[in-house]
Amino acid sequence: MKKLIIDVDTGVDDAQAIMVALADPDVTVLGITCCFGNTPLQNVLKNTLRVLKVCNRLDIPVFRGCGKPLLAHKRHAGDYHGKDGLGDCPDPDAPGLELLQKKKAVTAMIKLAKQNPGEVTLVATAPLTNLAVAVQLDPSFPERLKALYIMGGNTDSRGNTTVCGEFNFVADPEAAYVVLDRYTCPTYIAPWEFSCRNSLPWSFCEKWLSQKTEKAAFMKNITNFTFQKAQSAEYDKETTEGKGFNSCDTYAMAAAIDDTFITESDEVAVTVELEGTYTRGMMVLDYMKMLDKKHKAFVMKNVDLEKLKKMFMNSLK
């Protein structure tokens, strides 16, 4: 049984990643911690509870995390996920925020890792602010983790938020720097360009959403806005080159769930640029070994898409 903590900024792809995890019988989600990102924190909290409701899993504890970056200017991704993060299709019967845990996200992360030393896999699909604060409060926190899976960063200086920067890292570059510097547990990164090259065909997405279930109806509703954006001429070349839908966060989740999902990766030391005019927030890969860092991350290059498709199909059954 895999024990997960999921750190999210619940937009459409976070919702997909959460639902994939909840559908796997060999996964236990110990808690979901929330951070600003795709949408303001209040929306992230509401969206997370909405996803758990449709999955009939409101028993999973949800924790309020950081509402702004360590130093950077706050930014969101409403142009792609909708202003509310879930396609601007509100649910009048959505769960209320009184269901949130009183304990804050960072405190909860640290406590859950202490209770399950060496057993917890942390899946981070949001800006890394909660993780950076956690290691500052408890420097031994990363040592108790089994592994860390991150969706974020980029490898080919191809941005989706700035010229050279991926959203999660650009949203809080200092936090990304701290995490990549101080988390020495096994670390796996699903970067932006990699996910673009492994998009899900539109024909599969149609089949995926055509399942006659409440979960499929929910997913079809929240993805409509994002699908239209992804299929528009504005996004085709910058994202998936017109091939299909890029559910960025779900690649990190799939890798955390199935050890065989990653078929090719580079093991390399990584860091984040904090200053450049065009490159602030860009992930730096040290192939020349000039950073003198002992800890290296596994940067995903290729995955088994058929396994991802099965996970997606099962998530809406």
Rounded mean pLDDT of 236-260? 82
Determine the average pLDDT of the residues in 14-40.
Answer: 98
Pick from 77, 8, 6: nearest CA to 46: 8
Q: What does pLDDT average to over the chain?
A: 95
So which residues are the catalytic ones? 9
Q: Which domain does 233 fall in, by range?
A: 2-315
Domain count along the chain:
1
Please say whether the dihedral angle defined by the alpha carbons of residues 154, 132, 298 and 14, taken in this order, is positive or negative.
negative
Kindly indicate the confidence band of residue 123, based on its pLDDT and cuts at 50, 70 and 90: very high
Query: pLDDT tens for residues 281-293?
Result: 999 999 999 999 9
Give the model confidence (pLDDT) of 48-57 as tens digits: 999 999 999 9
Q: How many Å apart are CA 60 and CA 57, to the nearest integer?
A: 6
Check residue 236 and give its pLDDT: 46
Statement: residue 43 has pLDDT above 70? yes
**CATH number of the structural domain spanning residue 273:** 3.90.245.10
pTM over 0.85: yes
Rounded to whole angstroms, the Cα distance separating 67 from 84 reads 15
Q: How confident is the model at residue 240 (pLDDT cuts 50, 70, 90)?
A: very low
Q: Where are the beta strands (DSSP E) in 216-308?
A: 244-245, 262-268, 270-272, 283-285, 297-303
Does residue 233 surpass a pLDDT of 70? no
Backbone phi and psi for residue 116, each to the nearest 5 degrees, phi listed first = -135, 60
Please determine, for residue 239, whether its predicted confidence score (pLDDT) is greater than 90: no
What pLDDT is stored for residue 78 in this prediction?
A: 85
Token digits of residue 69? 């970056």
